Structure 1
């Protein structure tokens, strides 16, 4: 099945954004005016996932102000407006910046039909993959992530533990192990009813990069997605992983630039 870029993007916008499902226990998705947003506790991901495609300047400014007021009133230390390059109006990014948002690094939205992806896992000698099953494994994921990316995993630790303990059917965590040491970790979030599963993470510690672990993590998760009946995999890819994923069969649909609002205290 060879769906074109526009068809896939339309499907993604409808299933994963306009009709978004909560991404974990204890959070809710709300349609309010011209936006769809997720609202949870301070440790959850909070933010706008969709805005109306016919949004004009006046309605955009009103929607931005309303979300700032809403999340600020909740007392969270930050929330995100997940902006995509094809969102309207064309100057929505500038309007967010004017309202006090900060732009993060852009990522490429990639989607692939699961049926077209390789599920062959080819690992370097001494490396094995296994799924995450308990809180100790989550700590190993955190260790691999922090060594690979050099960034704090505390917020993600909370979210991953919640998924694993309260909604395990919507989450798959994977560890690449050398002996007792994690050298890479990745996760897959399943969105029942959408046909989509999302690939996240995939950072490998420096000494083990360039040896096929990332590709194997993709193939391993693609196999599980296929077994569970999901039709598409979606990735918000960095500049490092985007070329690899496109060689594996993913199609670049758009660019996403998270815009984060942090109320001044």
Structure 2
């Protein structure tokens, strides 16, 4: 089953126009969700009935990327994914988008034992447009943006992640190391340094064969927020995406980053809410 209400899918190099949000969203659903590629060397993407899911190692991302469900099939599909991932001992995430059906899918997931995390906004902008605009691309005085290419750089990223978000970075560290070792052309990770201290980090996902490069993991330590570091990392990654031929930049934006991204020219297409199931 292909995504609901299909349009004549634009090619990678087609721009739908600044106001044709439904067309761009349909392209995103098709390329980034329905035709998703595994994010890591030990992960697989499967289409099982009305669901597209990724199964990976315990430290990787496991979950449902796309579903095309109606009221009659939803509960059975949810139960099937719970059986699949719990049989592997995996916690997993069902990425529920605001335009997914049925309308009560979130409530059905709650009844099945999932816990919703804070909703984020799916936002998109043209990579070339952001790159050409400059975005005030120069980092603030005293900040140097460095590429992350080895274990030492990943350790700096992990340090920022823990200080910025207050969460454990072990899984992130292993995922980035796996990607750098096996598929370095599909990820561009960066860290912003103030002297010898890492103060912000982020990564750019570059899935092959799609129009969308993804902005992920952008975080800045509290004492450096509000100084333009996050903006500089967006500009840096926009340049890379544009040079690599990606049409759009996509980000799941938190309440903190959404106003910044809106000022930079990003458009909100939908919402996405992670529903998490723990075995």
* Structure 1 and Structure 2 fold alike (TM over 0.5): yes
1:186 Cα deviation after fit: 0.5
Report SS of the residue matched to 1:174: strand
Would you identify which runs of 4 or more consecutive aligned residues in structure 1 move more than 4 Å?
none
Cα distance in structure 2, aligned partners of 1:59 and 1:87:
14
Where in structure 2 are the equivalents of 1:1-265 lying within 5 Å?
A: 2-3=17-18, 4-52=20-68, 55-76=69-90, 78-117=91-130, 118-119=133-134, 120-263=136-279
Instruction: Structure 2: give runs of 5+ residues left out of the alignment.
Output: 1-14
Cα distance in structure 1, aligned partners of 2:242 and 2:128:
7
1:148 Cα deviation after fit: 1.1
Q: Please give the TM-score of this superposition, normalised by the length of structure 2.
A: 0.91
Q: How many residues align?
A: 260
1:122 Cα deviation after fit: 2.2
1:115 Cα deviation after fit: 1.9
Cα distance in structure 1, aligned partners of 2:40 and 2:240:
19
1:96 Cα deviation after fit: 0.3
1:58 Cα deviation after fit: 2.0
Cα distance in structure 2, aligned partners of 1:152 and 1:42:
15
8 Å CA contact 1:122–1:212 kept in 2: the answer is: no
Q: Please give the TM-score of this superposition, normalised by the length of structure 1.
A: 0.96
8 Å CA contact 1:24–1:159 kept in 2: the answer is: yes
Cα distance in structure 2, aligned partners of 1:124 and 1:113:
24
Report SS of the residue matched to 1:72: helix
What is the alpha-carbon root mean square deviation over aligned residues?
Answer: 1.0
1:102 Cα deviation after fit: 0.4
8 Å CA contact 2:123–2:253 kept in 1: the answer is: yes
Cα distance in structure 1, aligned partners of 2:124 and 2:217:
16
Report SS of the residue matched to 1:58: coil
Cα distance in structure 2, aligned partners of 1:86 and 1:114:
24
Cα distance per residue 1:151-182 (max 9 Å; x no partner) = 11111111111011111000101110011110
